[in-house]
Structure 1
Amino acid sequence: MIEVESIHHVSLSVTNLEKAKHFYGDMLGFKELDRPDFDFPGAWYQVGNQQLHLIVQQESSTFRSDPEINSKEGHFAIRVKDYEKTLKHLKTLGIKIIEKPNSISGFAQIFCMDPDLNLIELNVDQQDLK
Structure 2
Amino acid sequence: MNHFTVIAEDADRTLAFYVGLLGMTVGHRPDLGFPGAWLYAGGPQALLHVYFDRPVPPQRAGVIDHMAFTAQGLKDVKARFDEQGVKYDLRRQAGAGTWQLFCFDPNGAKVELDFDASESL
TM-score interval for Structure 1 and Structure 2 normalised by the shorter chain: 0.7 to 0.9
Tell me if 1:33 matches 2:45: no
Task: Specify the alignment match of 2:93 in structure 1.
Answer: 103
The TM-score normalised by the length of structure 1 is 0.74
More strand, by proportion: 1
- Match for 1:75: what amino acid? H
**Distance apart, 1:111 and its partner CA:** 0.8
Q: 1:29 to 1:81 in 2, by over 3 A?
A: closer
Find 2:7's aligned residue among 10, 13, 22.
13
Q: Gapped runs of 5+ residues in structure 1?
A: 1-6, 65-72
C-alpha distance in structure 2 between counterparts of 1:93 and 1:105, whole Å: 31
Aligned residues: 114
User: Conserved in 2, the CA contact under 8 Å of 1:13 and 1:63?
Assistant: no
Alignment RMSD (CA, Å): 2.1
**Distance apart, 1:18 and its partner CA:** 2.2
The TM-score normalised by the length of structure 2 is 0.79
Task: Specify the alignment match of 1:3 in structure 2.
Answer: none
Task: Specify the alignment match of 1:67 in structure 2.
Answer: none
Q: 1:59 to 1:76 in 2, by over 3 A?
A: closer
Task: Specify the alignment match of 2:56 in structure 1.
Answer: 59
**Runs of 4 or more consecutive aligned structure 1 residues displaced over 6 Å after TM superposition:** none
**Distance apart, 1:21 and its partner CA:** 1.6
Spell out the pairing of 1:72-87 with structure 2 (5 A cutoff). 74-87=65-78
Task: Specify the alignment match of 1:4 in structure 2.
Answer: none
User: Conserved in 2, the CA contact under 8 Å of 1:13 and 1:62?
Assistant: no
Tell me if 1:125 matches 2:116: yes
C-alpha distance in structure 1 between counterparts of 2:19 and 2:71, whole Å: 16
Tell me if 1:47 matches 2:45: no
My pick for the range that moved more, 54-63 or 31-40, is 54-63
Aligned-pair identity (%): 25
My pick for the range that moved more, 91-100 or 28-37, is 28-37
Q: Gapped runs of 5+ residues in structure 2?
A: none
C-alpha distance in structure 2 between counterparts of 1:17 and 1:35, whole Å: 16
For residues 28-57 of structure 1, the C-alpha deviation after alignment (integer angstroms, 9 at most, x for no partner) is: 221101212222221111113242111232
User: Conserved in 1, the CA contact under 8 Å of 2:5 and 2:51?
Assistant: yes
